[in-house]
Amino acid sequence: MSLMDLFRKEEPSTASVAKERLRVLVAHDRLRHNGPDYLPQLQQEILAVIRKYVHIDDQDVNVQLEHQGNTSVLELNVTLPEEAQD
């Protein structure tokens, strides 16, 4: 580090931003390309069911499939809009 660096504002390094973005992206890509073919359709149908009750956007449902040893875990994350939570 040089003397000049001391006067610069502390920000997360661009390399760590890159790493974090890649971590998310690569996990997402792997699921899409290597996951079972039915996942996108499953996601669409779950969306349709939830939309019968509350209005949500496409990106409010997140489907993840993780393999841990012999078991596979299907993780479903639905972000409900503010007004629907009470």
Binding residues for another protein, rule: CB under 8 A, are 2-5, 13-16, 18-19, 21-23, 25-26, 29-30, 33-34
Residue with smaller CB distance to another protein, 35 or 47: 35
Residue with smaller CB distance to another protein, 52 or 67: 67
Q: How far is the CB of 15 from another protein (least distance, A)?
A: 5
Residue with smaller CB distance to another protein, 34 or 85: 34
DSSP symbols for the chain: --GGGGGSPP---HHHHHHHHHHHHHHHHHHHHHS-TTHHHHHHHHHHHHHTTS---GGGEEEEEEEETTEEEEEEEE---GGGG-
